[in-house]
Chain A
Amino acid sequence: MRWKETEYSGWGRVLKAKGSLARPERISELESIISQGPAPAIGNLRSYGDAPLNGDGRAIAMTRLDRFIAFDPATGVLEAEAGVTIAVIMATFVPRGWMPTVVPGTAFATLGGCIANDVHGKNHHIAGTFGSYVESLVLAGADGVSRMVSEISEPAIFKATIGGLGQTGIIRSARIKLSRCPSTLMEVHEERIANLAQFIDAFDAAQSAFQVGWIDATARGEALGQGIFEEGQLYDGPPKLLRSRKSKAIPFNAPGFMMNPLIVRWFNKVYFGAVPMSGRNRLRRLEDFFFPLDRVHNWNRLYGKKGFHQFQCVIPTGAAATTLKAMLSKIAASGLASPLAVLKKMGPGRAGMLSFPMEGYTLAVDFPDREKARELIADLETLALDASGRIYLAKDSTSSAEAVLGMYSELIDWREIVNQIDPDGAFETGLVRRLNLRGRS
């Protein structure tokens, strides 16, 4: 197996790593790599910061180990290798009436990545996280031995692996429970929201299975927190054919001025204006509803070659209204916000010790990489910490060890489990070292 010496980065492209990557295509190749010594596994590099990076070290790209292993139509349990993407699972199983119970905001994420970051989706308030539907997984540990791990067989290691950022070993394959989907379509209702308070009311009143809010983070004053509330129910009516829209690609890095405040404000005005005052109902293909940004391949290039940060936090319900208001005021005043911030209500569901979600509201905003943006993110993080909220490690590229320790109450327990099964830190990544997640430095 050849090792490729290369520079690579996560989706945000601010943090980069130089290192050696292997990309096994067969099980025998993976096993020969593992026998040379353990290294962290990486997927499709869709987390934003340095979660999938191992600078000056080795990493194993799992994207070519992407086969379906078994599917039981009686129970909906699918077993697949870790490199398979959500897109391929959906393309194969949605026509047969099954879909992953939880899907993240991009279908390019791999099965292994979804587990290692315990991702959530637009139905988190009722369905919980991706990891809640993992029945078992096969983990290759630091000792080179592969074994099946489930909540029943090894509950501690299982909970340390779900959302565990790859630190317990290489996730080789997993069995996940799919859910029934009656069609390939979603009934979508969209309505305009005037401000933050109305947004929170809309989430509280909504009954639908899937919900998301798109916020115009450039709006201020009376209009602070204005945006569009979008909710969806799986369509179960007579069959209808909606043509798939062709995806487009951003072929090269955009110049630095693309994300200047005027262009962003203009874009948001056009985008939010598309929904009529009275709201609208329409049928959309599942992938258009779940993964709107996937239609534009390499959209991260819009931020230019310097890249961008995504700040995502969750604020517990009680503090949400005041904290989010303070955050949005700071963001609007900075003039740094990018189009389409996302607001979503979260339920209590979390499946791992380092899982991000908590009951409350999550806000995600993109910022081009500038000095001022990093200062703003630090301020936002302090607000989240003060409100007993937390930031999402899969998105992070700027936080600190102290802050994260204060946010993740199970971090110390997680450390103990992980450091016991990987005492030499063979699976450490850039993120783990930067935030000293394992307390080894």
Chain B
Amino acid sequence: MKQLWIILGASSAMARAFARKAASEGADLILAGRDQDDLQAAVADCLLRGAASVTAMPFDTRDATSFAAILIAAARFEGVINAAVFAGSMPLQSEIDANPELAAGMIADNYMGPLRMLHELAPLLEDRKSGTIVGVGSVAGDRGRIKNYVYGSTKAAFHTYLAGLRNRLTRSGAHVLTVKPGFVDTAMTWGLPGMFLVASPTDVAEAIWQAAAKKRDVIYAPFFWRYIMLIIRNIPERIFKKMSV
């Protein structure tokens, strides 16, 4: 059965690595994002790495009119429809503190846009009784921390949405995988202070691919963040509120 992977936010380093993995497995690809020049370069790259077909399409989380063309292309595809959401943005907490209006764009990128897109895509997967949706959240969504809580709250909302969608799609045989990456070595984290245990996008993409194949529900990437976050989640609020982790 042919497999279509719709990569939403395909220009990010993690998305690029995941698209390459899917290409090397012979998938059909839709690379969706804003930077069409960059996506055209990625089309050639993925074709040379073994993708059955690759199409670049415009996708803007803040502009729902960009969703329709992708949904039509998905509906026309004969085979299994899969999608992976890598779209997102992370202004610094200090920038948001200075200008709270910035939160609106981030909510659109990390939550509202992906939600609306996935909500329109979900019926297609239900109809075909197959397919996997990968949603990339963040360890930052596990607990509100002083350093990054506005971003974290958008990811927490997305996690909750994904959990509900999983609950829904599992009834028709489709599947939802929630991915919570720790620090990944991408443009988003490049040069930020306080980074540790930084994982390569290639390793994270490989972990996501394996987890999707095994129909895992929620993974941390790399895996050890499960234990770090287990501790962080279980610190009593009375103590946590005084910490600056």
| Residue of chain B at shortest CB distance from A68 | B48
0 or 1 for each of B37-79: is its CB under 8 Å from A? (1 = yes)? 1100110110011100000000000000000000000000000
Additional A-B contacts beyond A67-B42, A68-B49, A69-B45 (9; CB < 8 A): A1-B187, A27-B37, A28-B35, A28-B37, A67-B41, A67-B44, A68-B45, A68-B48, A69-B44
CB distance A5 to B49 under 8 Å? no
Q: Name the CB-closest residue of B to A26.
A: B38
Pick from A23, A27, A71, A81: contact of B190, CB under 8 Å: A23
A70 within 8 A of B: yes
Selected from A21, A25, A27, the residue in CB contact (under 8 A) with B13 is: A25
Contacts of B12 in A (CB 8 A): 25
Contacts of B186 in A (CB 8 A): 25
Residue of A nearest to B41 (CB): A67
Contact A2:B191 (CB < 8 A) given known A25-B186, A92-B48: yes
Q: How many pairs of A and B residues are in contact by the CB < 8 Å rule?
A: 51
A332-375 CB mask vs B (1 if < 8 Å, else 0) is 00000000000000000000000000000000000000000000
- B interface, how many residues as a size bin? 20 to 34
For B190, list chain A residues within 8 Å (CB).
2, 4, 23
**A interface: dominant SS:** mixed
| Residue-wise interface mask of A (1-32) relative to B, using a CB-CB cutoff of 8 A (1 in contact, 0 not) | 11111100000000000000101011111000
Using CB atoms, name the residue of chain A closest to B38: A26
> In whole angstroms, how far apart are the Cα atoms of A180 and B37 in the complex?
32
* A28 neighbours in B (Cβ, 8 Å): 35, 37-38
Q: How far is the CA of A396 from the CA of B176 in the complex (A)?
A: 53
Q: Mark B190-223, 1 if CB is under 8 A from A, else 0.
A: 1110000000000000000000000000000000
Interface residues of A in 182-207 (CB under 8 A from B): none
* B11 located at the interface, meaning its Cβ lies under 8 Å from any Cβ of chain A in the complex: yes
Q: What residues on A are CB-neighbors of B191 within 8 Å?
A: 2-6, 21
Q: Is there an interface contact between A23 and B44, defined as CB atoms closer than 8 Å? A: no
Q: Cβ of B44 and Cβ of A25 under 8 Å apart?
A: no
Instruction: Say whether B48 contacts A71, CB under 8 Å.
Output: yes
Q: Tell me, yes or no, whether A64 is within 8 Å of chain B by CB.
A: yes
B5 CB → nearest A CB, Å = 18
Q: Which chain B residue has the least Cβ–Cβ distance from A25? A: B187
* Inter-chain contact A27/B49, CB cutoff 8 Å: no
Q: Which of A2, A5, A25 counts the most B-chain CB atoms under 10 A from its CB?
A: A25
Interface residues of A in 367-415 (CB under 8 A from B): none
Q: Are A68 and B44 in contact (CB under 8 A)?
A: yes
A69 and B41 form a contact (CB under 8 A) = yes
Among A2, A4, A67: residue with most chain B CB under 10 A: A67
Chain B 122-165, CB-CB to A under 8 Å as 1, else 0, gives 00000000000000000000000000000000000000000000
Q: How far is the CA of A81 from the CA of B48 in the complex (A)?
A: 13
CB-CB under 8 A from B13, the residues of chain A are 25, 64
Which residues of A, 48-101, contact B by the 8 Å Cβ criterion? 64, 67-71, 81, 92
Give the distance to chain B from A327, nearest Cβ to Cβ, in Å: 40
Query: Given the complex, which residues of B lie within 8 Å of A21, measured CB to CB?
Result: 191
Q: Could you show 20 A-B contacts with beta carbons less than 8 Å apart?
A: A2-B187, A2-B190, A21-B191, A23-B190, A25-B11, A25-B186, A26-B35, A26-B37, A26-B38, A27-B37, A28-B37, A67-B41, A67-B44, A68-B44, A68-B49, A69-B41, A70-B48, A71-B48, A81-B41, A92-B24
